[in-house]
């Protein structure tokens, strides 16, 4: 009621009505809404209000699950390449340096024993060691929903009509735009297409705090890292569709991800890639 | 036919001989492109209208479908859809994505039994997806279950997660409670 009054005052045209797929009949969860704006001019003009799906943008703020996601994203790609050599792997040391007894010295069999200077290591770091693990799908899905909910609840999630082929690519314009709309220190733009052209593409090349990302790159870490997340309308549709599809999927949410199942796919990933500067793999 | 094949083979042999002077790394593009080329066959395509509906119903289900309409509820399995009465309470229990009640069984280790030297286990029932005033839900649940069982039960409420853990009551009775409230 309040939002619709506001909408009438600001002369917004688009209606909030949106067909929300499998929306719960829960009377305690109101449908979250967001203003629809555009990036054509510096001032924020409100074009309308958009309904957001409560299963994605109004979930319980489970910070523990968000934390699990953030930790996983930081940790899973760590690889420790340090390998400390044992006495067997050090060069030399095959000869007994002095007789076992009657010299008054220690009974040693090799100059590479761990007691020696420049000897091998007894209990050293034995890399390569990996911290890779996969979070269950349910946790990753809920983590994304929690992150989006938090951004929306803190008024850091904005929805724009279009990001492609914008007229103005001047960095000053974009700085003014983000400053006048109070978008904070860093802004992440998310569009459904992975190719972006026009003004935004020119500006984001020059501005380090402004970044673009396709929908398939959406992740908890980036959502939390940037002060403001801006979704295009198409991206919003796609995100909701993809997340809901997985939240209602018939397969279980605790699928196993084993390397042997994905080995062929991973190894053949670069088959279609052709770089004009690099010779092809023969 | 036989002679033609022979000639082709001979021709290939001769080209490979002549190419031997050029090394593989001098022009890798040429070599790669040669591999990518597929023998082209031009065949006429004739589309046959086939009724795929029998095949389609064998395909795996991607998304959990809506429940079909039944003539009477509860269904022979005892399942009932949520009713309008569910929205009248000060709390709401949402169904799972497969339209079942969000009741889960949990087994937790208890103290060591000194006589048998084995660990005792307690069976807990977890009710999830509770929205609204979860403490009201817990109160009413407790009254309902204790009236049926004639002994007190233990409950634990996690408001943030919307979960209630119940000790000392079978799942069946909690199911009855939820159905009686219309969830």
* Cβ atoms within 10 Å, residue A59: 17
Domain assignment of residue B49, yes or no: no
Say if A276 is an interface residue toward chain B (CB within 8 Å). no
Nearest CA in chain A to B160: A60
Domain assignment of residue B62, yes or no: no
Separation CA A214–CA A229 (nearest Å): 12
Stronger pLDDT, B37 or A45, i.e. the higher one: A45
CA distance A241 to chain B (A): 12
Is residue B93 domain-shared with residue B23, that is, in the same domain? Answer: no
Domain assignment of residue B55, yes or no: no
- pLDDT for the residue B5: 46
CB-CB under 8 Å, B94 with A24: yes
Separation CA A183–CA A165 (nearest Å): 22
Nearest CB to B64: which of A26, A62, A248?
A248
Stronger pLDDT, B39 or B13, i.e. the higher one: B39
Nearest CA in chain A to B95: A24
Q: Specify the pairing of strand B130-132 against strand B91-93.
A: antiparallel
Q: Read off the DSSP letter of residue A226.
A: S
Domain assignment of residue B170, yes or no: yes
Average pLDDT value over all residues in chain B:
87
Residues of A in contact with B91 (CB under 8 A): 28
Residue for token pair 């006495």: A87
CB-CB under 8 Å, A25 with B87: yes
Residues of B in contact with A249 (CB under 8 A): 62-64
Stronger pLDDT, B58 or A272, i.e. the higher one: B58
- pLDDT for the residue A46: 94
CB-CB under 8 Å, B87 with A27: yes
Return the closest-CA partner of residue A247 out of A178, A124, A146, A131: A146
Domain assignment of residue B126, yes or no: yes
Identify the sign of the CA torsion A137, A139, A141, A143: negative
CA distance A158 to chain B (A): 27
Stronger pLDDT, B42 or B155, i.e. the higher one: B155
Q: Which residues of B touch A (CB under 8 A)?
A: 24, 28-29, 31-32, 35, 60-64, 82, 86-87, 91-92, 94, 97, 131-132, 160-162
Residue span of the structural domain in which B27 resides:
2-34
CB-CB under 8 Å, A29 with B32: no
Give the confidence band of B22 by pLDDT, cuts at 50, 70, 90. Answer: confident
Q: Which residues pair with B103 in a beta bridge?
A: B127
Separation CA A80–CA A71 (nearest Å): 17
Query: Residue B119 maps to which CATH number?
Result: 3.30.780.10
The total of structural domains in chain B comes to: 2
Is residue B17 domain-shared with residue B104, that is, in the same domain? Answer: no
- pLDDT for the residue A280: 64
- Per-residue pLDDT of A134-185, as tens digits, reads 999 999 999 999 999 999 999 999 999 999 999 999 999 999 999 999 999 9
Return the closest-CA partner of residue B138 out of B150, B151, B149, B125: B125
Tell me which of A21, A22, A23, A25 to substitute to probe the interface with B (most B C-beta atoms closer than 10 Å): A25
Averaged over B14-20, what is the pLDDT?
50
- pLDDT for the residue A12: 45
Low-confidence spans in chain A with pLDDT less than 50: 1-14
Give the confidence band of B21 by pLDDT, cuts at 50, 70, 90. Answer: confident
Is residue B29 domain-shared with residue B95, that is, in the same domain? Answer: no
Phi, psi of A229 (to 5 degrees): -115, 125
Averaged over B64-83, what is the pLDDT?
93
CB-CB under 8 Å, A247 with B97: yes
- Per-residue pLDDT of B125-172, as tens digits, reads 999 999 999 999 999 999 999 999 999 999 999 999 999 999 999 999
Domain assignment of residue B50, yes or no: no
- Given a contact cutoff of 8 angstroms between Cβ atoms, the answer to whether B63 and A250 are in contact is yes
Is residue B98 domain-shared with residue B173, that is, in the same domain? Answer: yes
A137-153 and A63-75 helices, crossing angle to 10°:
120
Identify the sign of the CA torsion A13, A19, A20, A25: positive
Domain assignment of residue B71, yes or no: no
Q: Which domains does chain A have, with CATH numbers?
A: 2-76+135-253 (3.40.1370.10), 79-130 (no CATH)
CA distance B137 to chain A (A): 14
Is residue B114 domain-shared with residue B175, that is, in the same domain? Answer: yes
- Per-residue pLDDT of B82-99, as tens digits, reads 999 999 999 999 999 999
> What count of CB pairs under 8 Å joins A to B?
46
Stronger pLDDT, B29 or A40, i.e. the higher one: A40
Separation CA A116–CA B33 (nearest Å): 59
Q: Supply angle C-alpha B91, B97, B102, rounded to 5.
A: 45
Domain assignment of residue B95, yes or no: yes
Whether residue B10 is predicted with pLDDT greater than 70 in this model: the reply is: no
């Amino acid at each position: 009621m309040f939002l619709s009054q506001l909408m009438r005052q600001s002369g917004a045209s688009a209606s909030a009505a949106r067909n929300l797929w499998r929306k719960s009949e829960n009377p305690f969860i109101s449908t979250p809404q967001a203003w629809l704006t555009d990036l054509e001019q510096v001032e924020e003009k409100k074009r309308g209000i958009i309904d957001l799906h409560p299963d994605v943008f109004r979930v319980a703020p489970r910070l523990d699950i968000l934390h699990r996601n953030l930790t996983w994203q930081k940790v899973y790609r760590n690889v420790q390449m340090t390998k400390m050599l044992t006495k067997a792997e050090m060069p030399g040391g095959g000869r007994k340096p002095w007789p076992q007894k009657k010299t008054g010295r220690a009974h040693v069999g090799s100059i590479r024993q761990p007691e020696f200077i420049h000897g091998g290591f007894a209990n050293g770091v034995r890399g390569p060691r990996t911290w890779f693990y996969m979070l269950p799908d349910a946790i990753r899905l809920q983590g994304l929903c929690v992150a989006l909910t938090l951004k929306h609840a803190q008024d850091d999630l904005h929805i724009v009509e279009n990001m492609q082929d914008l007229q103005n690519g001047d960095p000053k314009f974009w700085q003014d735009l983000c400053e006048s709309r109070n978008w904070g220190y860093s802004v992440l733009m998310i569009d459904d297409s992975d190719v972006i052209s026009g003004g935004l593409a020119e500006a984001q090349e020059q501005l380090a705090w402004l970044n673009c990302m396709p929908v398939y790159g959406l992740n908890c870490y980036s959502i939390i890292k940037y002060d403001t997340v801006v979704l295009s309308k198409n991206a919003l549709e796609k995100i909701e569709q993809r997340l809901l599809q997985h939240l209602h999927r018939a397969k279980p949410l605790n699928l196993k991800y084993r390397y042997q199942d994905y080995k062929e796919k991973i190894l053949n990933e670069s088959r279609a890639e052709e770089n004009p500067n690099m010779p092809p793999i023969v | 036919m036989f002679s033609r094949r022979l000639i082709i083979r001979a021709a290939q042999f001769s080209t490979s001989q002549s190419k031997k002077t050029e090394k593989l790394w001098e022009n890798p593009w040429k070599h790669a492109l040669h591999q990518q080329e597929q023998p082209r066959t031009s065949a006429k395509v004739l589309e046959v209208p086939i009724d795929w509906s029998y095949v389609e119903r064998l395909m795996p289900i991607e998304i959990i479908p809506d429940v079909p309409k039944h003539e009477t509820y509860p269904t022979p399995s005892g399942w009932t859809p949520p009713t309008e009465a569910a929205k009248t309470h000060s709390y709401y229990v949402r169904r799972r994505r497969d339209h079942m009640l969000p009741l889960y069984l949990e087994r937790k280790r208890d103290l060591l039994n000194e006589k048998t030297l084995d660990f005792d286990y307690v069976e807990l029932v977890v009710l999830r997806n509770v929205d609204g005033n979860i403490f009201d839900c817990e109160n009413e649940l407790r009254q309902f279950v204790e009236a049926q069982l004639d002994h007190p039960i233990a409950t634990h409420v996690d408001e943030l997660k919307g979960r209630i853990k119940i000790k000392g009551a079978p799942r069946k009775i909690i199911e009855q409670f939820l159905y009686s409230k219309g969830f």
